[in-house]
Structure 1
């Protein structure tokens, strides 16, 4: 009797990534009060990654350390606390190919463990790459692909420890960084379905995501006591991106309903549309608009859209005034923007963006809906495939509406804010085969 066994070809990959970023913050995330001094610091991300793949499986792991230069005394071996960033496991996952590798044009894979979850333009699900800490999930994914079609299903169920009984979960994020995009509590569980079809030079996708948050009741001092049961929030919608000749079109629409982590009934939405036109071989320009609902209805329903676990730094201005860790109220947002890109060669790129921000709902102070204007300028230079340099400058002209109590709540605020940074990145990978 003859047995056939396909040749086993294993691959081992190791890589390192060191990224330092020096920042001057003179009103980044929120305007500073008049007389306040700007901040300056250097943060560093260090990642060591390893991957191993063989017949019908892959393994991946990334160890990450994030810290600010000088936060550790040079003679002290600091033990990382929850209030600092420090050393952690960023990724640790295994992927199993459920279909034999000889089945062509189809794949059915099971991926389990700590992993980045990124879809479409990272608006709702992204790895938050700009933040030195990044974002990851402890999750289980089933991934099916056939020709131009993709179908993914994922789930996560979080616990604080190995409990002896019960599944009550404390969602309070440790340290200074929020669990989700909009600064809220960590989800207790999450499920999603993602379906996409490739187009000529883009794709059309559908997302349905449900995330659950621990129920609670306040004690006599107002501190939350976590209970059994969950509040369930659901988000669904479509994303479209395609390039035809020199024109790239992008559009998205999402609806959010159910209950949020604060037990409020929810009915909210996001609409986005943009185009970018290649005016020459080196220069492109485009216009776009984003609209996220906000405010509270007369019946107590929240209309505040939360962009889930995405990468807001890409969309609503590089100074991160909206939908990041810093509070921006629950008023919703209108963002009308112009984006330009100049790329004369493979090594250098310059982008310049201009945003005009408005509230999506009336403010209690009756100060008008205009939040302000932001200008962003970013230059990238690639010295080699491993070494890259990036520098940026942003300026924000704010209004009384932005600094009012219902939004940023900054008394005696400066009318102009600045932010600048310089970033050095060395990212390398070496491939071993046997």
Structure 2
């Protein structure tokens, strides 16, 4: 009996030791797992990415027509970005520092006695977003985003990041963001000043640190306020936008010999209102339709009363597994070229605000980009093709027919042909890896005499067969990604 008891005690002791060892092992494993998970969670809070985008361009009339006999321009530009983000409890912060410059524009050695005029380093984005709800809230998101940020909605026709431009586009703004059950609602505002002032709030709108609008207006807004609401449905989504941008009032003063006219800015603003809707729908699995309509009212940057419209519709049809095609049309209203424009006449020229014109109105950037093209508006008939040759190889072909939306004057009381030209854009995109992309494009146009006329581009003895080519290497590393 004693032997049995002793044996039982040994077995119990062995079992207890084994169980203890197992518990210790579990504790060690749990500790390691928690450490790893804690590391992963900490890593997940911090993001560090970058971008090097090299682009070589050959311009022979891109942006505007050049004269016959002029040589093509060749240059290489570079965008360098470092992006850092951090997510904490009920807040996010993000910064994007970028340097944009053309190769060779800076001296290869620094002369400390001079100031570098071509300094391209700036803060592209720097914002903080604070959640206004706790994690247990049933609302998906309610937050306040403050600071320098990109503002982009829908297809970016009127508000977009303009990524094609090496320096991109951003705004210093505050945005209240709401999202829940398929609804998105953003309410934003901005207020600009040239510098810190002791008196008044006068803003000239010519601060070189800010980009102007898409329509070569050359004047930055003093302030804006907007509301954006989007509702997602099973067949797509529909959105509404109201955007009001304000421009500082001024008067013109002429003085001196010879006479020089200048602007004198005072208090008050002229306000421009843009209101519209956008839709994106799939009536069938292989057909997509997008469209928009916007109306502009109020006053333009020079105080003229404004009444203008934009209407657009485009389609995409999938043919097989790899080919996507679709026609579309854009209409942007303009002024009647046969009527004299005065300070009191109504402005009917639609301005596509702060969008991405390169995406819609041709890669040659003749319309609504940095260079003006007249005031008669635009009709853009287009047909687009996309072919996914491989998972990492895409071929794009866009064909545009451009026409003035209103009457063109020849300057002597007569009218010009409203057709401006036909443009063909061809682009090849190849992903070498997930982080390395190669892209090459070739665009050419057959322009008309109307395009070169005083009413549009105003180029005498113009070459009516301009073209443009580029090749780009885009590397976007994720510095914290696992190998």
Give the shorter-chain TM-score range. over 0.9
| Normalised TM-score (structure 2) | 0.85
User: Per-residue displacement from partner, 1:317-364 (whole Å, max 9, x unpaired)?
Assistant: 000000000111111000000000000222000000100000001011
Aligned twin of 1:293: 333
After superposing the two structures, state which structure 1 stretch, 103-112 or 62-71, moved more: 103-112
Aligned twin of 2:350: 305
Distance in 2 separating the partners of 1:178 and 1:33: 28
Q: Identify which of 280, 288, 299 aligns with 1:248.
A: 288
Task: Note if 1:179 corresponds to 2:207.
Answer: no
Deviation at 1:183, TM superposition (A): 1.5
In the TM superposition, 1:6-25 aligns within 5 A as: 10=42, 11-25=45-59
Task: Note if 1:315 corresponds to 2:329.
Answer: no
Task: Note if 1:165 corresponds to 2:199.
Answer: yes
Cα distance change of structure 1 residues 52 and 329 upon mapping to structure 2, 3 Å threshold: same
User: Per-residue displacement from partner, 1:287-315 (whole Å, max 9, x unpaired)?
Assistant: 00000000157771010000000000000
Deviation at 1:104, TM superposition (A): 3.5
Please say if residues 13 and 432 of structure 1, whose CA atoms lie closer than 8 Å, have aligned partners that are also in contact: no
> Could you say what secondary structure the match of 1:401 adopts?
helix
User: Per-residue displacement from partner, 1:378-418 (whole Å, max 9, x unpaired)?
Assistant: 00000101100000000010011111101100000012011
Aligned twin of 1:40: 74
In the TM superposition, 1:147-166 aligns within 5 A as: 147-166=181-200
> Could you say what secondary structure the match of 2:391 adopts?
coil
> Could you say what secondary structure the match of 2:206 adopts?
coil
Unaligned 5+ segments in structure 2 are 1-37, 255-259
Distance in 2 separating the partners of 1:266 and 1:147: 37
Deviation at 1:79, TM superposition (A): 4.2
Aligned twin of 1:236: 275
- Greater relative contact order (Cα < 8 A, sep 6+): 1
Distance in 2 separating the partners of 1:179 and 1:123: 16
Distance in 1 separating the partners of 2:398 and 2:161: 23
Cα distance change of structure 1 residues 54 and 420 upon mapping to structure 2, 3 Å threshold: same
After superposing the two structures, state which structure 1 stretch, 391-400 or 289-298, moved more: 289-298
Deviation at 1:102, TM superposition (A): 1.9
Q: Identify which of 398, 403, 410 aligns with 2:452.
A: 403
User: Per-residue displacement from partner, 1:359-384 (whole Å, max 9, x unpaired)?
Assistant: 00101111210000000000000010
Q: Identify which of 347, 372, 397 aligns with 1:327.
A: 372
Distance in 1 separating the partners of 2:157 and 2:116: 31
Task: Note if 1:200 corresponds to 2:234.
Answer: yes
Aligned-residue RMSD, C-alpha: 1.8
Distance in 1 separating the partners of 2:480 and 2:304: 50
Please say if residues 333 and 377 of structure 2, whose CA atoms lie closer than 8 Å, have aligned partners that are also in contact: yes
Count residues in correspondence.
Answer: 424
> Could you say what secondary structure the match of 1:314 adopts?
helix
Please say if residues 194 and 207 of structure 2, whose CA atoms lie closer than 8 Å, have aligned partners that are also in contact: no
> Could you say what secondary structure the match of 1:394 adopts?
strand
> Could you say what secondary structure the match of 2:451 adopts?
helix
Q: Name whichever structure is richer in strand by fraction.
A: 1
Cα distance change of structure 1 residues 131 and 71 upon mapping to structure 2, 3 Å threshold: same
> Could you say what secondary structure the match of 2:409 adopts?
coil
> Could you say what secondary structure the match of 1:58 adopts?
strand
Deviation at 1:105, TM superposition (A): 4.6
Aligned twin of 1:344: 389
Distance in 2 separating the partners of 1:104 and 1:346: 39
Distance in 2 separating the partners of 1:143 and 1:62: 21
Deviation at 1:178, TM superposition (A): 4.5
Distance in 1 separating the partners of 2:377 and 2:277: 20
Aligned twin of 1:420: 469
Q: Identify which of 147, 151, 168 aligns with 1:134.
A: 168
Task: Note if 1:218 corresponds to 2:258.
Answer: no
User: Per-residue displacement from partner, 1:89-142 (whole Å, max 9, x unpaired)?
Assistant: 001000001011222452100000000001001111101100000000000000
Distance in 2 separating the partners of 1:21 and 1:409: 29
Task: Note if 1:367 corresponds to 2:401.
Answer: no
| Normalised TM-score (structure 1) | 0.95
User: Per-residue displacement from partner, 1:229-263 (whole Å, max 9, x unpaired)?
Assistant: 10000000000012231001001000000000011
Aligned twin of 1:3: none
Distance in 2 separating the partners of 1:208 and 1:136: 19
Please say if residues 128 and 134 of structure 1, whose CA atoms lie closer than 8 Å, have aligned partners that are also in contact: yes
Aligned twin of 1:110: 144
Aligned twin of 1:4: none
Distance in 2 separating the partners of 1:306 and 1:178: 15
Distance in 1 separating the partners of 2:119 and 2:363: 22
Q: Name whichever structure is richer in helix by fraction.
A: 2
